[in-house]
Each structure stands twice: as C-alpha cells, then as structure tokens.
Amino acid sequence: MPLLDTLGRPLGSLRLSVTDRCNLRCHYCMPEDEYLWLPREDVLSFEEIGQLADLFGEVGVGRVRLTGGEPLLRRDLPSLVAQLAARPWLRDLALTTNGVLLAHAAPELKHAGLHRVTVSLDTLRRDRFQRLTRMDALNAVLAGIDAVRSAGFPDLKLDTVVTRGDNDDEIVDLVEFAREMRAEVRFIEYMDVGGATSWRPDAVVSRQEILDCLSDHYGDLTPVDETSSAPAARYRLPDGTTVGIISSTTQPFCRTCDRARLTADGVLLLCLYAQHGTDLRRPLRAGASRETLLNLIRAVWKGRADRGAEERRAVRGRGAYIPLRLLKKDSHLEMHTRGG
C-alpha cells in the first residue's frame, strides 16, 4: 500500500541535497553577498545519507534526485552515486547541477550508475551568464553538457528559469540549442521561494507567455498527454521536438506533488515553501531504531497537508516570501539549502 498524505498524495520521490554550498550566485537564488552555511559537522556522511535513503525506499520512494547547493561540490559524489545506484528499491537516480564542474565528473558519474542528468542553464551568452551568476563559467557549463552526451547518458534535460528582461529573449535559442544537444529544455517560472529576495510579480514570465513565444515562432504546439507526477507540462513542436514548462508560480501542481526533500543536514521538508521541517539527523545519530525512524517518516508524510505554491498564488500584493532578516537566522529557509 502506498503511503498517502491527507490529500491522497503518495510519497514517490526524494530530493537529496548533498551540500548547501554553491559556486554560482544566481540572481534569483543567491543574490546576497554573504550566507549562513550549515555547520560542517551537521552535514550527513554518505553512510548516513544511505541509511536514511533506505528508509524512504521502504515507504515507497523509487526515484531520487541529487541536488544542492551545487551537488558536484560535494567531494567524491560518484561514490555516493555508486552506493545509491546499487539499491534494489531505486528505479531512477538523477542529478541536478549547474554544470560548472560537469565536464570532469560526467564519465565517472555514468560509470558509478547515475541514470539521468539535468543541467540548469539560463542563457547561452557569456557576458549575460556572468552577470546573472557572478561567474564567467558558460564555457565550462557547455563543456559539461557535451561531456554528458559523450558519456552516454540517455536522458539530458536543460532547466531554464525565465526572468523578464534577463533571458526571456532566449527562449527560442535555448530550444534550438537543446535540440542540437538531443536534450529537452524545460522553462521554469520564477518562484518567490526563500532566497529569491528580489522576486516581484512582474519579473515572472508566465507559462502562457512562454507558450505564446514558442507558437509565434514554431506554429501550433500540441500538449503531450501524460499522467505523471513530473512537474513539467510537456508540449510538442510541429517537428516533434518536445519542450517542458514548469509553471510553479501561475499554475502550481501541488495536487500531484509526490516529493519529499532532505537537506544536507538531514532535515525532512515536504514543500519548497515549508517553514519548518523534521530533523532526522538527531534521532539517527542518537541511535534511534530503524522502526522508530520509519514511523517518524510515515507520520510526517501521513500528516502532510501543504499546498505551498497554490497558497502563495492566492496571496495579494505578493513579494519575496521570506524576508532577508529571517533567511539570515535560518539557512533552512533558503532554496539553496532545500535543493529546488
């Protein structure tokens, strides 16, 4: 029997953040000059991550996505991948990365058993990349994307957060680039999550605007008919190319969300907008039994009622969700700590 929450949503996938550190400073995620980092001693070891992941596997998780911060900053990530990939309960093991360190890492990750890679890529222009991320690293990311292809990963996705006046003129260029790379691009609406301290409604480029831009250029788009818990709605261009749109801001999909999130220090979060989580590190390190931890996870999921993005959509006069002064007190509220 799947584990269901109060809205009947099954627990199906786990986003595992392996570090809160990042080498980019994307304007919509880490725009500040200084951050409060998780204490190093709190960060879970690979063995602890494996122990907790197994518990999630036992209550129904079959898909795991490694994220961060920037997951490739975590030393020896391929050995965690190899450990997880050997778990019989795991059907799908994916990585979300900014791609800066991917050129070197891709072959080892493939060898370790990683199934899929998603690279975040917001622009194809070097000067713009530097302005939006505060690092001159576009060429490294492009080399990383090439390396994913050469390493033989069958599935590559490119995730683009579209923000007005920054990269909304590159929608078609990114579709063309993805096609060349045999990848699928997914356009993500700008979200007012913790960390997005400069978020404002008029900076959001909506799903409808993205669709209009695509159909103006390519002609009629056909929605791809699929029932899944994947966040992207997919569309087919007349030539068969598919494109995804993740409309978390204007048309949220909380009702089909099957994701749990575990921060690098072992806090279980149920929603990107959650203000509180459940610490699994403390009981794990205190020697709690498997059954105790399983019961805790089961109880948390069964009590889940959140519809964070839907509730945010209903707010009038919406601005940044978490004020900077609160982010400075609790880094768990940051998107880069909870993994996106």
Nearer to ligand SAM, 192 or 258 (CB): 192
- Least Cβ distance, residue 124 to ligand SAM (angstroms): 15
Which lies closer to ligand SAM via its Cβ, residue 106 or residue 284?
106
Query: What is residue 8's DSSP assignment?
Result: S
Q: In what order do the strands lie in the sheet with 116-120?
A: 222-223, 233-236, 242-246, 184-189, 155-162, 116-120, 92-97, 63-67, 13-17, 259-262, 267-269, 278-279
Residues found near ligand SAM in the complex (CB under 6 A): 22, 28-29, 67-68, 70, 96-98, 120, 159, 161, 188, 190-191, 193, 196, 335-336, 339-340
CB 260 within 8 A of CB 61: yes
Q: Which is nearer to ligand SAM, 60 or 340 (CB)?
A: 340
Question: Measured from the CB of residue 120, what is the shortest distance to ligand SAM in angstroms?
Answer: 4
How many Cβ atoms sit within 10 Å of the Cβ of residue 115?
19
Residue among 22 and 270 whose Cβ is closer to ligand SAM: 22
Region of 283 (left: φ > 0; alpha: ψ -120 to 50; beta: rest) is alpha
CB 194 within 8 A of CB 327: yes
**DSSP notation for 195-257:** T-TT--GGGB--HHHHHHHHHHHH---EE-----S-S-EEEE-TTS-EEEEE-TTTS--GGG-
Residue of this chain nearest to ligand SAM (CB atom): 340
For residue 318, the minimal CB distance to ligand SAM (Å) is 13
Least distance to ligand SAM from the beta carbon of 47, Å? 23
- Judge contact between 66 and 18, C-beta under 8 A: yes
**Nearest approach, Cβ of residue 130 and ligand SAM (Å):** 16
At 220, the amino acid letter reads D
CA-CA distance, 299 to 278, in Å (whole number)? 11
**Nearer Cβ to ligand SAM, position 29 or 175?**
29
Cβ neighbour number for residue 151 with a 10 Å cutoff = 17
Pick the closer one to ligand SAM by CB: 281 or 338: 338
Q: What is the closest distance, in whole angstroms, from the C-beta atom of residue 176 to ligand SAM in the complex?
A: 20
Please tell me the distance from the alpha carbon of residue 336 to that of residue 20, in angstroms, as a whole number.
6
Give the residue with the Cβ less far from ligand SAM, 55 or 121: 121
What is the smallest separation between the CB atom of 335 and ligand SAM, expressed in angstroms?
5
